[in-house]
Chains A and B, each alone.
Chain A
């Protein structure tokens, strides 16, 4: 047998095995039950002093605790859980807000200069200004001179916005009404960053802007929303002039309860005429 022959036979053998393997794979789903990956929390510590204590601790925080170890490394299941959650979070960033959701939300939809998701992610300034068309629409259609403007921004988590904004917006508007605080109609701004609130304030001439913005997704939740407040922003406004309340989602500050909390803060900011560090100092 010459070398060429040997190689040919080996290749044939490999191909035969490959085909068998592939036909097995094709058949498998029909024969086996399709098992769903379980994301349930389990005590992973081997021979703990008190397993109940660990199970109890796992209930009071979403943090990855009580997961045990293999040597100094994670156990297999905790490692897979981590990879799964990272994959889900990466996918959440790439998702766009659905048309259906926007229809149901029923508030004006404005746009920034960010024309694509990649431009939005890589060029911060593109998400900080309304596009010309949206700016002139707002100029024409806003009431002007109200106390508060609410902005909804998709930010980095459309899931966060889709899951929480209905309840959050309703409870926030209710809270402000109860306090007799006047409002512009809320607006949704697609692919926008926090600083777009300064541009909006300059158009609608309000005292305070609150932005409800989808936070960048974490592993524990990809559904979190933050509220950013700024009192009378100007061209010289800086980051520390803003106040932020983060972690509004089902596992953090409940969206239905957040409305009352946020409107209390707005009321206090309006009376102290400040936000950010200046507001924190005025409180003490």
Chain B
């Protein structure tokens, strides 16, 4: 394994695959904070060069955290198809990049080889890809999933209606929910972030969203994004759960910080199949994002992007209905500005798809980041072009409970119109019945929540 070389008369020596991966990453503040980033632009390019010549076997044999020490590593390695891996283990990362981009590589060929890759290999190839590389590759891969609606069909784009309220007030939540539905948002899920994480309160929100869906005959699923242990208790007590949520990270230590483990996720999946309200078979909803590990001091000296790819490899085990990337939610210590956020979104969409997931993107920013609405909209358009399955839908783009900005109901409708995408099949029929949409366009009635009077 070659870990050193000369560029422009300078000698670069790296000590491990982990170091090469980190230094080959595009510049991000989180990697600077954890002191794993390249020290100069030239060192970054040197790392990309060395990385492009590593073989997949080199990466396979040097996981960034050892198999014995980390549950995430174990889950990823246990899912790798050995037959496929052996076929391609001699490939270099540079060759893998070209293979992914070649016209002759079909979507199904890509899906097949991805089963022989570890998440670190997927992170590695993304580090030597530019924005258009990432978009071209992402367009080739699309995964479908089914809960009550089918997500991920070609030509369709779904949205989570996110009707949060700062104190979980029923009427306030329902008002935002009606607003979102009237813009055609809500086919991915009606998902409420609770302020109060108690079982009683979470059960109440599950019940009101479920009853609203029943009353209006809406083809979708409900979800309350409390901690998984709270949702599980609500479910066991008979609360109506269609989709179960949890945030995940790319190391066992960070997941422990989040209060999750494989055992707990297995239990949640089991009870969802046993007691959940939805058709399935995909009944889990995960959220991820670059930087959670480093902000919890649980990164083991691994860069944010590689850990994000590992999160996807871990998430894949539970066949989720949706995986939402919220890079940009944490703040400037992980992604400093709009440029870093846009890059992360493109990397994450590609890596999620290569890891076999039905991916969506939440191009988000917080108010202490050097970023604004223009950056968010650019990230939204680029990732929609790259074939994201879904986005969030927040009233006016301003989440009044979580205090951050995300795609608005207006942005959702715009992304569909500008790219000619339709809502999910079952939901589009419902929108037409309600008079909100006709032939894929919003009608004059759209945007009026009083249609639910």
Contacts and interface: CB of A to CB of B under 8 A. Distances in A.
Interface stretch (B11-19, B48-56, B390-398): B390-398
A219 B195 contact: no
Given A47-B444, A252-B167, A121 B395 contact: no
A224 B403 contact: yes
Q: Most A CB atoms within 10 A — which of B32, B166, B256?
A: B166
A54 B176 CA distance: 11
A69 B230 CA distance: 38
A10 B223 CA distance: 65
Interface string A46-67: 0111110110011011111111
A62 B166 contact: yes
Interface string A7-45: 000000000000000000000000000000000000001
Given A123-B33, A240-B227, A247-B166, A72 B417 contact: yes
Interface stretch (B130-138, B315-323, B365-373): B365-373
A64 B33 contact: no
A218 B403 contact: yes
Q: Most A CB atoms within 10 A — which of B173, B198, B401?
A: B401
A134 B367 CA distance: 30
Contact of A247 (B195, B199, B372): B195
A219 B333 CA distance: 20
A175 B164 CA distance: 30
B195 A246 contact: yes
B10 interface: no
A86 B179 contact: no
A69 B395 contact: no
A143 interface: no
A38 B8 CA distance: 60
A280 B230 contact: yes
Nearest to A224: B403
Contact of A219 (B33, B229, B295, B367): B367
A66 B179 contact: yes
Interface in A110-141: 121-125
Interface stretch (B92-100, B408-416, B420-428): B408-416
Contacts of A238: 256-257, 259, 296
B399 interface: yes
Contacts of A220: 166, 398, 400, 403
Given A122-B29, A218-B399, A219-B405, A65 B367 contact: no
A99 interface: no
A121 B442 CA distance: 42
A280 B332 contact: no
B227 A49 contact: no
Nearest to B414: A72
A283 interface: yes
Contacts of B398: 63-64, 82, 85, 218-220
Contacts of A85: 398
A127 to B, nearest CB: 10
Interface stretch (B80-88, B210-218, B300-308, B445-453): B445-453
Contacts of A247: 166-167, 195, 401
A276 B33 contact: no
Interface in A75-102: 78, 82-83, 85-86, 89-90, 92-93
A73 B410 contact: yes
B178 to A, nearest CB: 8
A229 to B, nearest CB: 12
Contact of B229 (A63, A83, A222, A277): A277
Interface string B225-239: 001011001000000
Contacts of B331: 121, 216
Contacts of B402: 218
A86 B176 contact: no
A51 B32 CA distance: 52
Contact of A89 (B166, B167, B367): B367
A122 B167 contact: no
B209 to A, nearest CB: 15
Contact of B165 (A48, A63, A83, A90): A63
B227 A74 contact: no
Q: Across the A-B interface, give the 5 residue pairs with the lowest CB-CB distance, nearest first.
A: A64-B396, A218-B403, A240-B259, A61-B172, A57-B175
Given A57-B179, A63-B163, A86-B372, 6 more contacts: A45-B448, A49-B453, A61-B176, A63-B164, A64-B397, A240-B257
24 contacts: A45-B449, A45-B450, A47-B444, A49-B450, A50-B453, A51-B450, A57-B178, A61-B175, A65-B395, A65-B396, A72-B414, A73-B410, A73-B414, A122-B332, A216-B331, A218-B398, A218-B402, A219-B398, A220-B403, A240-B258, A245-B196, A246-B195, A247-B166, A252-B166
